[in-house]
Chains A and B, each alone.
Chain A
Amino acid sequence: MTTAPIAISIESEGSVWGLGLQPAGCDVCARGFLVPAERVGQRCPACGRGTLGPQPALMRPEPPELVVAFRKRPEDLPDLLRPFVNAVWLRPDDLAVEKLAQRAVPVLWPMWLVDGKVVGAWEAELGFDYQVESARESLAGGQWRSEKMLETRIRWEPRAGQLARAYDNVATPALSDHERWLRLGGSYPDTEAQAASAESLHGALLVIPEVLPEAAWSLAKAQLDERAASDCQAAAGAQHVRRIGLRADYRDTRWTQLLLPAYLTTYTDDEGRVHPVLVNGATGRIGGRRFASQSKGLRLAGLVGLGAVLALMVGLVLLAIGALLPPVALLGGLILVAALGLGLAALWPALWPWQWNRGQPRSE
């Protein structure tokens, strides 16, 4: 008996969970949020290009069950962002600590929490550790010395049985780009999850789940199976599993949400492309692509190159004078060498942004 609840449609004017939030969506990236009414019409924090407009959403009526609290406050952001930004030498003007911190929007992004019972039968091949005594013997000086050693081996045996176990809070992705969020912000300390309340959700935009329970069920089921298999192994007292088969019914499933904190901000590069930056609201880890400014590099290279040309000209003049006053020729030669060095150094700022940008991930 497999059960996955059906999502229902929440209209734009509805007030979700009694929190005074309403669904809104970005007209560019289509990301959906639950936002206070005054947020409607503002820039999308996810892509930084579109604006949030009223938009109906398909979602479950149950309020979030758990939330990981923001441990990083907005005033902490400049200090967190500074190393991230300063790592880029020739950065775009928009990639600045103050601008990123000013644009940062606190959001809570969701994972499904599934509770359910697994009732069925199982068969497995389980491994049990046992120890055997072995030996290493050494001959030195005509005398044998024996050293006993204990070696742990695995005895594989079949087991079968039935189970009826209840599992709470099996976390399952609720966003289609769940992996990307984790890649950017890193993992969250799940031990810090606490019961969700109006206070704990206040002030943040809530990302609406895109993966509906019907679609997330296969992942949730796999995790329930995994927990059940682990329980079967523990019940049998085995240390290893080589194969396990489960024929089970899944009963009384209940779907709620776990909300994870993040700050979303953006910057625009020289070519006008907007790049998102994510700050983990619990750990402070920052993720996002950082592009250097190619135009800044070229400008700096031009300035250095101009200096090289001037030095070249001065050097040549001094060489000409050196035909009459030989000591001046020596000075001219030194200036010519310096001009050559400057000319070579002018290549560095021209090439550095290209090299840096090549090192950035192809996708976020």
Chain B
Amino acid sequence: MNASDPLPHAWQPPPDFVAVASALEGVTVFAPRPVETAAPAPRTYRCPQCGAATEFNVAAGGIACEHCGYRAQTEAGAPHAEHLEFTLEALAAGAQGWGVTRRQLHCEACGADLALAEGALTATCPFCASSQVNVRAAAGDSVRPGGVAPFSVVPEAVRAKAHTWLGSGWFHPAGLAASARLDSFVGVYLPFWLFGAHLTAGWKAEVGHEETESYLDTRDMKRKTRQVVRWRWESGQAGVDVINLPIAGSSRVNSSVLSDILPFDLGAIQAFSPDFLAGWQAQGYDVPLPKAWEEGKAHMREQAQGACRAQIRSGHVRNFHMTVDFGDETWRYVLLPVYVSAYRFDGKIFQVMVNGQTGAVAGQKPVAWAKVWAAIALMLAPGLLLSLIGLPLLLAAGLGLVPLGIGVVLFVAGLVGSFILYTRVAQNERGVARSE
């Protein structure tokens, strides 16, 4: 017998089903039309009224034309970017490009990759203020962003915040706010990986408990008490849910500056639409998913370790070991809004970032080291002076113990204060100066 009968003609597949390959003769298979994964056709944003270029306007919350006042509300997509699993295919780096064909610009000065709007061949790099840029073909093996958090801080407000931030602080050069040019803030969508997981952690350790015991002192044959630490093995379990752990997908930005403008309002993330990028810069990721996930896992396991440690009601712990099982791991690739600028001062380049949602400012500031050293000298001087007075008196006449003691204490306090001051200003220079 063979299946030579023709298939019934009257049957129609369900709506939006398409034929797929069948592994058996005599059986046809239809499946839901696959979600389009290829990049859609390039789009040019032009005003339908006057033909001028349009861009996403933060205040209007949609595409706007500065010339004729045209406004078009950007359609709200799904409220959240889809949470994806760590399939082998995803980890092998999906080979999809962007939602809109964009030119990839490569800065020869700092190496940043910038996706710039169609038609822009050169631009001032927001990371190094350099104009040395060349067009480079976009890498075709990147994952497309699943979501984007639109800008909610208008560019005009950014400048004011940045100038206020620049003028604050004591240990910076006088006239910094006046001389540094911080006008060219560029709104950039930076790539972020958002990770989630449920961690099940189990720990075991020797925990020491302080106890008071009485003993017989054989020297004077009296019973006395003393504190002893009794060690015993303890164990426990902890569950930790990590949601939306952000890991930067760009290695070109100053990570300490970037971490200081966190957090973002991740609840504002919407499904990716090219409209949000119209007229704005956007950077593709150069930290691949597996590498970012390794970093994310390191953060997560530290959280799990903290949860386990919190269960131990003692400061005496030894032989601590634990296991962490990851479950329900998810990832998202999203674009988050940042205003970036760089300014030159005294021949050096300093980077400034502003959170495009919250307006938090952070960045690098030059340090007036003369002021710093002067302050350190002022902090150390009293202690040193008192010590110099007290020590000869003590050696010569057996007096001066009190000023010497006070001097030593003041000197040590001055050292601590100096260290804190030095650390903070050094951080300022590297880029963690922050203001809301």
Which A residues fall within an 8 A CB radius of B? 115, 117, 119-121, 123, 130-141, 144, 146, 150, 153, 157-166, 168, 231-232, 234-237, 251-252
User: Is there a chain A Cβ closer than 8 Å to B8's Cβ?
Assistant: yes
Complex contacts, A162 vs chain B, CB 8 Å = 7-8, 11, 27-28
Q: Known contacts A132-B86, A140-B321: does B22 contact A235 (CB below 8 Å)?
A: yes
6 pairs, CB–CB < 8 Å, chain A vs chain B: A117-B5, A150-B88, A158-B31, A162-B27, A163-B27, A168-B1
Contact B321 A139 (CB under 8 A): yes
The minimal Cβ–Cβ distance linking B341 to chain A, given in whole angstroms, is 38
Majority SS of interface residues in chain B? mixed
Taken residue by residue from 90 to 104, chain B's Cβ proximity to chain A (1 for < 8 Å, 0 otherwise) reads as 010000000000000
The minimal Cβ–Cβ distance linking A142 to chain B, given in whole angstroms, is 9
Query: Which of B107-115, B124-132, B322-330, B349-357 is near enough to bind chain A?
Result: B322-330
- Told that A134-B325, A153-B85 touch, could you supply 5 new A-B pairs with CB distance under 8 A? A121-B11, A135-B329, A158-B14, A161-B28, A236-B22
Contact A138 B322 (CB under 8 A): yes
Contact A131 B87 (CB under 8 A): yes
Complex contacts, B91 vs chain A, CB 8 Å = 133
Q: Known contacts A139-B322, A159-B30, A160-B30: does B23 contact A237 (CB below 8 Å)?
A: yes
Majority SS of interface residues in chain A? strand
User: Is there a chain A Cβ closer than 8 Å to B434's Cβ?
Assistant: no
Query: CA A29 – CA B394 in complex, angstroms?
Result: 128
Query: CA A136 – CA B324 in complex, angstroms?
Result: 6
Taken residue by residue from 198 to 213, chain B's Cβ proximity to chain A (1 for < 8 Å, 0 otherwise) reads as 0000000000000000
Contacting A134 at CB < 8 Å: which of B4, B13, B298, B327? Answer: B327
Taken residue by residue from 5 to 43, chain B's Cβ proximity to chain A (1 for < 8 Å, 0 otherwise) reads as 111100101100100101110111111100000000000
Complex contacts, A141 vs chain B, CB 8 Å = 321
Contacting B24 at CB < 8 Å: which of A119, A131, A166, A235? Answer: A235
Q: Known contacts A136-B325, A144-B301: does B31 contact A164 (CB below 8 Å)?
A: no
The minimal Cβ–Cβ distance linking B13 to chain A, given in whole angstroms, is 6
Complex contacts, A251 vs chain B, CB 8 Å = 5
User: Is there a chain A Cβ closer than 8 Å to B344's Cβ?
Assistant: no
The minimal Cβ–Cβ distance linking B229 to chain A, given in whole angstroms, is 21
Query: CA A133 – CA B22 in complex, angstroms?
Result: 29
Contacting B301 at CB < 8 Å: which of A121, A123, A131, A137? Answer: A137
Complex contacts, B323 vs chain A, CB 8 Å = 136-139
Q: Known contacts A133-B88, A158-B32: does B1 contact A117 (CB below 8 Å)?
A: yes
Residue in A closest to B14 when the chains form the complex, CB atoms: A160
Query: CA A161 – CA B28 in complex, angstroms?
Result: 5
User: Is there a chain A Cβ closer than 8 Å to B387's Cβ?
Assistant: no
Contact A132 B26 (CB under 8 A): no
Q: Known contacts A162-B8, A163-B26: does B87 contact A132 (CB below 8 Å)?
A: yes
Complex contacts, B88 vs chain A, CB 8 Å = 131-133, 150
Complex contacts, B22 vs chain A, CB 8 Å = 161, 235-236
Contact B24 A135 (CB under 8 A): no
User: Is there a chain A Cβ closer than 8 Å to B297's Cβ?
Assistant: yes
B-side interface size class: 35 or more
Complex contacts, B30 vs chain A, CB 8 Å = 159-161
Contact B26 A136 (CB under 8 A): no
Complex contacts, A134 vs chain B, CB 8 Å = 86, 325-327, 329
Residue in B closest to A141 when the chains form the complex, CB atoms: B321
The minimal Cβ–Cβ distance linking A247 to chain B, given in whole angstroms, is 9
Complex contacts, B297 vs chain A, CB 8 Å = 135, 137, 146
Query: CA A138 – CA B28 in complex, angstroms?
Result: 49
Q: Known contacts A121-B8, A157-B32: does B86 contact A133 (CB below 8 Å)?
A: yes
Contact A119 B8 (CB under 8 A): yes
User: Is there a chain A Cβ closer than 8 Å to B174's Cβ?
Assistant: no
User: Is there a chain A Cβ closer than 8 Å to B305's Cβ?
Assistant: yes
Contacting B29 at CB < 8 Å: which of A138, A140, A159, A166? Answer: A159
> Closest 5 A-B residue pairs measured CB to CB?
A235-B27, A235-B24, A166-B1, A140-B321, A161-B28
Query: CA A4 – CA B4 in complex, angstroms?
Result: 21
Docked complex: B291-335 residues within 8 A CB-CB of A = 297-298, 301, 305, 320-327, 329
The minimal Cβ–Cβ distance linking B84 to chain A, given in whole angstroms, is 10
Complex contacts, A146 vs chain B, CB 8 Å = 297
Query: CA A159 – CA B6 in complex, angstroms?
Result: 20
Contact A115 B26 (CB under 8 A): no
Residue in A closest to B294 when the chains form the complex, CB atoms: A146
Contact A135 B326 (CB under 8 A): yes
Contact B1 A119 (CB under 8 A): no
Contact B87 A115 (CB under 8 A): no
The minimal Cβ–Cβ distance linking B373 to chain A, given in whole angstroms, is 39
Complex contacts, B214 vs chain A, CB 8 Å = none
The minimal Cβ–Cβ distance linking B89 to chain A, given in whole angstroms, is 8
Contact A166 B321 (CB under 8 A): no
Query: CA A193 – CA B17 in complex, angstroms?
Result: 44
Query: CA A251 – CA B6 in complex, angstroms?
Result: 12
Contact B85 A132 (CB under 8 A): yes
Contact A115 B1 (CB under 8 A): yes
Contact A166 B3 (CB under 8 A): yes
Residue in B closest to A228 when the chains form the complex, CB atoms: B27
Query: CA A232 – CA B23 in complex, angstroms?
Result: 9
The minimal Cβ–Cβ distance linking B315 to chain A, given in whole angstroms, is 18
The minimal Cβ–Cβ distance linking A340 to chain B, given in whole angstroms, is 60
Residue in B closest to A139 when the chains form the complex, CB atoms: B322
